[in-house]
């Protein structure tokens, strides 16, 4: 296609679904045809030597996931701790309130008995 004095005609056509472009009149090398036959990865083609890059990426993702899990576990542990702390505080407050009510009842009863004596 890049030749200066080329007289070849190149035509482009679309298939019936217009998903594929058909190019006529272009010569392709065997290596290009072989590369086109290779299955492509879901993320598209990757250059050779990308296995190391993939491994590094997988390693970073695994580290980030581990950090995220540790953060969630830490937050859950804090929630449990504060939940227990609040429960103990509630129980303690109820006990203090119950004692105060009993003291008031005793004082009221004592005053009632004194009033009867007089």
| Distance between CA atoms of residues 47 and 40, nearest Å | 11
- pLDDT means per 10 residues, the chain with 118 residues, are 59 70 76 78 57 85 92 95 96 96 96 92
Looking at the whole model, is its pTM more than 0.95? no
Q: What pLDDT is stored for residue 35 in this prediction?
A: 80
Task: Please provide the size of the chain in residues.
Answer: 118
Q: What is the largest CA-CA distance in the chain?
A: 133
């Amino acid at each position: 296609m890049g030749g200066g004095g080329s007289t070849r005609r190149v035509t482009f056509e679309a298939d019936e679904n217009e998903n594929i472009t058909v190019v006529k009149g272009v010569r392709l090398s065997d290596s290009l045809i072989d590369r086109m036959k290779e299955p492509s990865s879901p993320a598209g083609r990757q250059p050779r030597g990308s296995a190391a890059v993939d491994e590094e990426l997988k390693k970073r993702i695994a580290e980030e996931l581990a950090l995220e899990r540790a953060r969630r576990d830490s937050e859950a542990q804090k929630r449990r701790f504060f939940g227990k702390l609040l429960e103990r505080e509630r129980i303690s407050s109820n006990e203090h309130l119950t004692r105060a009510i009993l003291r008031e009842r005793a004082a009221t009863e004592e005053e009632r008995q004194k009033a009867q004596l007089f």
